A and B are shown apart, each in its own frame.
Chain A
Amino acid sequence: MSRKDVFEAELLDDNGAMTLAELARRCATDAEWLLQLVNEGILVPRGRALPEWRFSHTSIWRVRRVQRLQVDLGVNLAGAALALEMLDELESLRRRLASLESGRETGAES
């Protein structure tokens, strides 16, 4: 591949608008199982009734993470929901910690 090719990357935020079918395809799973994730509160679509449901792009990561937790660790959906919450918090704490640790020494020396 030519090194000159530049690929444009699209920033995904919480405003994406995937249908249930699209999300199922992206996660290589079936819509029925995704419904269980919605019922468990793991996925929160916008829109009232199922045909109007729209999922954010970040749902893909939540679904994939649940898939991994189920396959690799054998957790059930309620357990996966709890693990997701805690992992989210853990990651945000880790980021804050890393941010507090980085730059400190340099700042103090200058």
Chain B
Amino acid sequence: MEFKDYYQILGVERDADQDEIKRAYRKLARKFHPDVSKETDAEARFKELGEAYEVLKDPEKRAAYDHLGANWQAGQDFRPPPDWDAGFEFSGGGFTSADSAAYSDFFESLFGRGFSGGGFQRAGAHQYRARGEDHHARILIDLEDALEGRTRPITLQVPEIDDHGRVRTRARTLNVRIPQGVTAGQKIRLAGQGAPGIGDAPAGDLYLEIDFRPHPRYRVDGRDLLADLPIAPWEAALGARVKVGTPGGTVELTVPENSRSGQKLRLKGRGLAGKNPGDLYMVLQIVVPPANTDEMSALYREMAEMSDFDPRAGVRG
């Protein structure tokens, strides 16, 4: 396993006092808290911070950790020396939060055993019944899953306690029918798919927060969808009937005369379904044909000569 330099993780010197350690932790914790940060490695960074702080804020654990010596480098292959913790007394307190599942093997090898009888008990062996815990997760789905109410496999990493009391994660795949019309930020519930109950008590539920993968064509705004509709300058100027693919199938749209780029055409009720179904907006994008033939160049020159159109009328300084 790799040696972890808890001082480096918190960005403090080895002789930092407890207040400095607390300040450093608080500052970094705010920055990398998964509720706040959307950086992809925020969760991993936050767990690492929590682990480092768990050790360094506790004078007993910190003393034991310091006893390993200052010569270890982060990432270096590490085995705890035999009886490394002899002479250190751990008064318990143990894991402070449910995140203990996230602590590294390195942490476990140093402090795991000392606390196995402490605050981290599982109730499994006892003779009582209790409803299973609810589980929470966030999942990424495709827009089509929500538009059509598709069934799709969802894989979750489930922490489990093995026979030796160690925490392992296991991949669990469920086929879930996505409720039609669900949108980003909404939550769904799978009854009975949380942690199993103890005794004959019912299992907990599984709560999933929905987010969409970016879609190549549609942008999602609440229940509304937006898509660009490219049109030719003459379609914009003269008006046109154009065929457009939509999630519900191809539709024919009327582009009004003298349309502008950025103008939106609304297709009512063709967004995400629901009690108040969203709309689909086609955003007009005028695409200018290149002057790549003599005829096209001649046409553009003719327009330039006969038109007094000034595209910069509003931006003269």
The residues of A with any CB-CB pair to B shorter than 8 Å are: 1, 3-13, 25-26, 28, 57-58, 60-61, 64-65, 68-69, 71-74, 83, 87, 91-92, 94-96, 98-104, 106-108, 110
Contacts and interface: CB of A to CB of B under 8 A. Distances in A.
Contact of B175 (A6, A57, A92, A96): A6
A9 B178 contact: yes
Interface string B177-189: 1110110111111
B38 interface: yes
B50 interface: yes
12 contacts: A3-B173, A5-B175, A7-B174, A7-B190, A9-B208, A11-B188, A12-B188, A57-B187, A73-B26, A73-B33, A91-B185, A103-B227
B33 A103 contact: no
B228 interface: yes
Contacts, number: 118
Interface residues of B, number: 53
B193 interface: yes
Contacts of B36: 83, 87
B103 interface: no
Nearest to A64: B136
A11 B216 contact: no
A91 B133 CA distance: 27
Nearest to A5: B175
Contacts of A110: 228, 230
B73 interface: no
B217 A103 contact: yes
Nearest to A8: B177
Given A60-B207, A98-B214, A103-B214, A72 B219 contact: no
A28 B216 contact: no
B153 A3 contact: yes
Contacts of B217: 103, 106-107
Nearest to B182: A11
Given A61-B209, A91-B185, A11 B176 contact: no
A83 B30 CA distance: 11
Nearest to B218: A103
A78 to B, nearest CB: 16
B258 interface: no
B38 A9 contact: no
